[in-house]
């Protein structure tokens, strides 16, 4: 195991979030930030195994729903990029290019996003209606020459473990249904895996790709009160099909452009979970993405090692037979107290302590990381599956409550300013007019109107123009 150098340092309070975040990610063995390339980090075994649990989960989810995994090359021919000229002109400066050979000739762009590599192939794959729908995804790294300050897993130059679903359909209706399916994927990942609320907004049409029908964006409400984009689902309409020539011959032999959907997100999922659930002792992992759900720490005194280990092994076997991921910490050069600390930093949901007295009484001490509770439980009454489920539910309820209490209705600009000063998200009525949207975005320095509620429409007066308004718009500082 790679030693995490800083595992024994004291972690600061979450009130200084940026510092806390970096400390926890290092101390828990998630990443090593010392790799000497801006915006790129080494994923350590523990961090990668958490990420991989989540990936396994989305693989199952997508594939169960008939979306198939593919892999497209890292290098994208420049001529593929140029098919979407407006995007490429805007993106060029943020993009990496690759050179090789004696003359250092440009070979292509480094994958900036999936579209320019994928859609030229879609164009080859779709001929008739029988070729549709195409429903594929890939999980890859994308690259962006980020000039702003980078932050591991949140704003990186190497955007690792990023999934992109891309689909092409014969009809607008089918595409719309596909989009709603992707919403279910996000909701399941947020609520069932990350124990986070699925906070989704409608993006105004002018923030979507030109020609698109619309888009959803998910946000995470971070501990510093800012919101972070955390997953988009885009109804591209026929806009990209027209750029990349993705079309099919209909029943009458007439060529039609396909309707396309693209949806993607990545490591920000776990960045949000770490940030939301963690505390001054370190991470608190949601049980369903924890690589180790239960750690057993034997309390050894000289002379009783054998019986305690034997009992601990028995408990481990019992739990594993129930499908629980268990680790028995047998390190002999570490006190139980240090082991507690070690696994607390890593956020293992449940710790079982077993000493000679417990063996005698056929019991274990169950200690839960989330609420720091401890209780003695007889082995035949031990229900870790239930405990993990309770922890998950409590973590979800807590984070949902924080979001719900964090979104507050504002009737005036002054109220908006006050709310954002208090690290809240403001919610206001808005008439639907772009000018008003832009004005509302400029109420304060660094403020951003970031989309409208997906819930049922109310009725009120637009914050900006005071006209009749049916949309509710969110405002916050953003990442």
Rounded to the nearest whole angstrom, what is the least distance from the CB of residue 85 to a second copy in the complex? 18
Give the C-alpha separation, 11 to 21, whole Å: 9
Residues linked to residue 235 through DSSP beta bridges, in sequence order: 214, 261
- Count of CB atoms situated within 10 Å of the CB of 47: 25
Q: Which of 7, 17, 61, 70 binds a second copy (CB under 8 A)?
A: 70
**Residue 124 interacting with a second copy (CB under 8 A):** yes
For a second copy, the closer of residues 136 and 425 by Cβ is: 136
**Residue 99 interacting with a second copy (CB under 8 A):** yes
For a second copy, the closer of residues 47 and 349 by Cβ is: 47
In the chain, the largest separation of any two C-alpha atoms, in whole Å, equals 86
Contact map string, positions 130 to 149, toward a second copy, x by CB under 8 A: xx--x-x----x-x-x----
Rounded to the nearest whole angstrom, what is the least distance from the CB of residue 9 to a second copy in the complex? 16
- The three-point CA angle 447-451-456 to 5° equals 135
Sign of CA dihedral 388, 296, 362, 358: negative
What phi and psi, each to the nearest 5 degrees, are found at residue 98?
-115, 135
With contacts defined by CB under 8 A, name the span among 127-135, 194-202, 238-246, 344-352 that binds a second copy: 127-135
**Residue 8 interacting with a second copy (CB under 8 A):** no
Q: Which of 64, 102, 206, 455 binds a second copy (CB under 8 A)?
A: 102
Q: Which of 58, 80, 87, 429 binds a second copy (CB under 8 A)?
A: 80
Number of residues interacting with a second copy: please give it, by CB under 8 A: 58
Q: Which of 15, 19, 73, 310 binds a second copy (CB under 8 A)?
A: 73
- The three-point CA angle 87-93-99 to 5° equals 105
Tell me, what DSSP letter sits at residue 462? -
Tell me the C-alpha to C-alpha distance, in Å, between residue 116 and each of 77, 81, 109, 126, 423: 8, 5, 10, 16, 39
Contact map string, positions 37 to 56, toward a second copy, x by CB under 8 A: x--xxxxxx--xx--x----
Closest to 186 measured CA to CA, from 456, 402, 454: 454
Q: Is residue 133 reached through a cis peptide bond, with omega within 30 degrees of 0 on the bond before it?
A: yes
Residues that bind a second copy (CB under 8 A): 1-3, 32, 34-37, 40-45, 48-49, 52, 68-77, 79-80, 93, 95-102, 104, 106-108, 110, 117, 120-121, 124-125, 130-131, 134, 136, 141, 143, 145, 157-158, 160
């Amino acid at each position: 195991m790679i030693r995490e150098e800083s595992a024994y340092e004291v972690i600061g309070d979450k009130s200084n979030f940026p510092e806390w975040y970096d400390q926890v990610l290092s101390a828990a063995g998630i990443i090593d930030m010392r790799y000497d390339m801006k915006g790129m980090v080494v994923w350590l075994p523990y961090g990668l195994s958490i990420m991989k649990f989540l990936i396994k989960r989305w693989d199952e989810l997508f594939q169960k729903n008939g979306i198939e995994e593919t892999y497209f090359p890292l290098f994208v021919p420049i001529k593929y990029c140029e098919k979407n000229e407006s995007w490429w002109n805007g993106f060029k400066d943020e993009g990496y290019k690759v050179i090789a050979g004696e003359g250092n000739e440009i070979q292509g762009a480094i994958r900036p996003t999936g579209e320019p590599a994928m859609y030229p192939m879609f164009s080859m794959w779709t001929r008739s209606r029988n070729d549709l729908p195409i429903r594929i995804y890939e999980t890859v790294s994308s690259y962006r020459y980020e000039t702003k300050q980078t932050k591991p897993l949140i704003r990186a130059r190497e955007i690792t473990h990023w999934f992109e679903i891309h689909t092409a359909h014969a009809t607008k209706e089918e595409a719309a249904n596909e989009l709603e399916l992707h919403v279910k994927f996000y909701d399941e990942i947020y609520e069932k895996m990350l124990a986070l609320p699925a906070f989704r907004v409608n993006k105004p049409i002018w923030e979507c790709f030109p020609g698109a029908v619309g888009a959803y964006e998910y946000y995470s409400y971070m501990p510093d009160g800012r919101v972070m984009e955390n997953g988009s689902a885009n109804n591209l309409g026929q806009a990209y099909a027209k750029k990349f020539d993705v079309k099919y011959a209909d029943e009458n032999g007439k060529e039609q452009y396909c309707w396309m959907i693209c949806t993607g997100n990545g490591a920000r999922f776990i960045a949000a979970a770490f940030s939301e659930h963690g505390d001054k002792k370190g991470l608190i992992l949601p049980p369903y993405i924890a690589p180790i759900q239960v750690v057993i720490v034997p309390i050894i005194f000289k002379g009783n090692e054998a019986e305690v280990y034997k009992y601990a092994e028995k408990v481990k076997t019992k739990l594993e037979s129930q499908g629980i991921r268990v680790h028995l910490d047998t390190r002999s050069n570490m006190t139980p107290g240090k082991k507690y600390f070690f696994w607390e930093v890593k956020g293992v949901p449940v710790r079982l302590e077993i000493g000679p007295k417990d063996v005698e009484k056929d019991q274990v001490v169950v200690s839960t990381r989330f609420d720091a509770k401890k209780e003695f439980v007889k082995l035949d009454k031990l229900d870790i599956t239930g405990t993990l489920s309770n922890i998950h539910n409590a973590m979800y309820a807590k984070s949902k409550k924080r979001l719900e209490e964090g979104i507050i209705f504002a009737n005036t600009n002054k109220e908006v300013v006050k709310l954002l000063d208090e690290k809240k998200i403001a919610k206001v009525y808005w008439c639907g007019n772009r000018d008003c949207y832009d004005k509302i975005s400029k109420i304060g320095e660094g403020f951003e109107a970031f989309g409208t509620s997906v819930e049922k429409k109310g009725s009120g007066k637009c914050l900006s123009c005071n006209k009749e308004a049916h949309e509710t718009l969110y405002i916050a500082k953003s990442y």
